[in-house]
Amino acid sequence: MDCGSDARVDRDLVARAGLCEPAEYEPPSAEERGNEAGSVVVSVHDLASELHRPPERIAKALGLLHSQQKAERAPLTGYWKLNVES
């Protein structure tokens, strides 16, 4: 399988699963990933489902984190980028 042939395929995941030859694979750069190291992107609805809380409550909590500069809205509606410190 050519790891770079289809933009819909997560090349990193495919390579780690051993579904392509290492010679064909080059890990995506930070720019290609579009996600800085130490960041996590979450969906309000997915997080609400996992925590068994209403999405409105999760959105309010993310808004509070935003005011503390610990989260920011992702470009996709309904998603937030959490700034994780190690």
Rounded Cα distance, 1 and 20, in Å: 5
pTM, two decimals, is 0.54
Q: Which of 38-47, 48-57, 58-67 has the lowest mean pLDDT?
A: 38-47
Closest to 42 in 3D by CA, of 53, 50, 34, 30? 50
Question: From the CA atom positions of the chain, what is the Rg in Å?
Answer: 16
Yes or no: is domain 35-86 CATH 1.10.10.10? yes
pLDDT one-digit tens code per residue, 61-72: 999 999 998 899
Residues of the chain with CATH 1.10.10.10: 35-86
